[in-house]
């Protein structure tokens, strides 16, 4: 109806902006977290059926956490917290606490935190869209049959130029997607600043 094609999708980012005062507050709070800082989100809101298929087991981030100089920072809210007790310590996951986004409103702190990270890695959730809209580097792990917005057979997103897509090679194959991510991250982290 609007005669939009994949080539003409508006992709001017950022089109959302974090509050500079809150960005600065989080910069100070994160100042003790050195290394290549990656914010991670492994689950979307509670749901059933295909919504659950997009969720990542937190354990999948182990291959990324073992890379020298990488620090994982929890962006995950609510769902998925039960995995923290079993896996979070092994990943040396930086936990910013449960009060993120409580005082300022939904995604306000999360956006400010993202502005202080080197990368965001997420499953197909609102966190991935927020990072893309902010224009921060974001990698999204996608199921074998993803939501229509991610199209097929491509590793980029026409909506978000700072986004890279990592797809399952077969149903349920998160291992393959994370092996590809780990290899890409090795290259990214080894580049001189």
Instruction: Render each residue's pLDDT in the chain as its tens digit; 193 residues.
Output: 777 788 877 778 899 999 999 999 999 999 999 999 999 998 877 765 555 678 888 999 999 999 999 999 999 887 667 777 777 778 888 988 888 888 888 899 999 999 999 999 999 999 999 999 999 999 999 999 888 888 888 999 999 999 999 999 999 899 999 999 999 999 988 877 6
Is 4 domain-assigned? Answer: no
Is 12 domain-assigned? Answer: no
Rounded to 5 degrees, what angle do the CA atoms 61, 67, 70 make?
80
CA separation for the pair 161, 131 (Å, rounded): 11
Is 144 domain-assigned? Answer: yes
CATH assignment of the domain containing 121: 3.40.50.2000
**What's the Cα-to-Cα distance from 117 to each of 5, 55, 75, 80, 150, rounded to whole Å?**
32, 22, 11, 21, 24
CA separation for the pair 8, 142 (Å, rounded): 23
Domain count, the chain: 1
Range of the domain at 36: 17-190
């Amino acid at each position: 109806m609007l005669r939009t094609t994949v080539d003409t999708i508006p992709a001017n980012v950022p089109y959302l902006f974090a509050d500079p005062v809150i960005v600065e507050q989080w910069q100070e709070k994160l100042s003790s977290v050195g290394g290549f800082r990656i914010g991670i989100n492994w689950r979307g809101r509670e749901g059933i059926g295909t919504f659950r298929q997009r969720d990542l087991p937190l354990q999948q981030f182990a291959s990324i956490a073992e890379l020298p100089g990488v620090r994982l920072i929890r962006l995950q809210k609510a769902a998925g917290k039960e995995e923290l007790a079993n896996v979070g310590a092994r990943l040396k996951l930086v936990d910013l606490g449960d009060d993120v986004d409580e005082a300022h409103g939904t995604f306000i702190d999360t956006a400010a935190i993202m502005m202080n990270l080197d990368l965001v890695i997420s499953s197909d959730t609102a966190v991935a869209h927020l990072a893309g809209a902010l224009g921060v580097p974001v990698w999204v792990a996608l199921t074998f049959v993803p939501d229509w917005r991610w199209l097929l057979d491509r590793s980029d997103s026409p909506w978000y130029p700072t986004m890279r897509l990592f797809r399952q090679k077969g149903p349920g194959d998160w291992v393959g997607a994370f092996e590809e991510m780990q290899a890409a991250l090795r290259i990214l982290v080894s580049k001189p600043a």
